[in-house]
Amino acid sequence: MWYHFEEGSSFSQGALKLSARVLNGIAIRDQIYGELKQEIAALGAAGIRPGLAAVLVGENPASQIYVRSKIAACEQLGLGSWLHTPSAAVTTEEMLSLVAELNARDDVDGILVQLPLPPQVDTKAVLEAVDPAKDVDGFHPVNLGRLVSGRAGLVACTPAGCMEILRRSGIAVEGANAAVVGRSDIVGKPMALLLVHANATVTICHSKTRDLAGVVRQADIVVAAIGRAAMIEPEWVRPGATVIDVGTTRVTDAAQVERIFANYPARLAQFREKGFTLVGDVHPDVAEVAGAITPVPGGVGPLTIAMLMSNTVKAARLRRTPKASTNTPPNTTSNTASMKTPGAAAAKS
């Protein structure tokens, strides 16, 4: 088996000397925040303060944590933020009326409706009601259509963040074989489109994929977004491959944690102290085989929020400045675009 030891880039989680380069999402997020602060200052000089309105329905603990982090990021960057918290009994009509109110406000540049919504609410109707110009989640069909056809638009934050990790880490995407494991509307599908626009050859894998391990083993880039703790095993991964782990499952079962982190005593000690741990879709031992890997936590997660901030700033610039370009390519931060426009890539078929 081929191991990739690089001076200064290998890491240890308390026991094994691991071979993979760790793609540090916190450092990349901080780099993006540094760039965004300059753009926010420039907008501020023109009297514009980008603002995000978050809608958090009910009391889902995971959603509460996510939304709190998003509001905290707005505060850290000096963006405006508003939190709306309808009760879990809210109706579709009430949600539509709240969205209409936010659409009409000039100081609201981005509208984020945290998912999942309760079952009585028509999620699709609510997402379609958001003004596409304020759709900082990139979930509106207009923005999804723009992404499919390689037009500029607002792109879903998690896949856009994965692309930023690849780009800023110097991972070659063009010509690479990529496997996206998971086909959700929020991550898998937009992720596959972004990789195709960056000229990768992409396979979208899902629960019915035959010989999933064999398909993943062909990939130079694996994006795991299935939501099943530690599902991607070391034997599934081609030595030297880049592995992007989108999963974050909160695991409390001690036997499961001990099985997954058998080689990581420090991690086990941390679990025993806290009573839970966050586990990605990728088994931690994959770090012995991969060339580069995102950790969980501290990999993709920080980028999801960074891209939400980036989309909010971009939405403000496009909507509120007179000469804003409408040609900023998707999947890049607002003023640091260096990838080709998807349109250019798509035109070549």
* Positions marked catalytic: 70, 114, 137
Q: Which residue is nearest to ligand GUN (CB)?
A: 115
Distance CA 150, CA 75 (A): 32
Output the smallest distance, CB 42 to ligand GUN, in A: 27
Residue 158 contacts ligand GUN per CB under 6 A: yes
Binding residues for ligand GUN, total number by CB under 6 A: 9
Residue 113 contacts ligand GUN per CB under 6 A: yes
Structure tokens at 210: 């035959």
Beta bridge partners of 222: 179, 243
Complex with ligand GUN: residue 83 or 115, whichever CB lies closer: 115
Output the smallest distance, CB 55 to ligand GUN, in A: 9
Residue 114 contacts ligand GUN per CB under 6 A: yes
Residue 74 contacts ligand GUN per CB under 6 A: no
Residue 155 contacts ligand GUN per CB under 6 A: no
The answer to whether 158 touches 187, Cβ cutoff 8 Å, is: yes
Beta-carbon neighbour count of residue 325 at 10 Å?
10
Residues 192-211 that bind ligand GUN (CB under 6 A): none
Instruction: Using the rule CB under 6 A, give the single segment among 110-118, 172-180, 223-231, 315-323 that binds ligand GUN.
Output: 110-118
Residues 122-151 that bind ligand GUN (CB under 6 A): 137
Complex with ligand GUN: residue 64 or 201, whichever CB lies closer: 64
Which positions from 12 to 51 touch ligand GUN by CB under 6 A, shown as an x/- string? ----------------------------------------
Q: Provide the binding-site residues for ligand GUN, judged by CB under 6 A.
A: 112-115, 137, 157-158, 186, 304
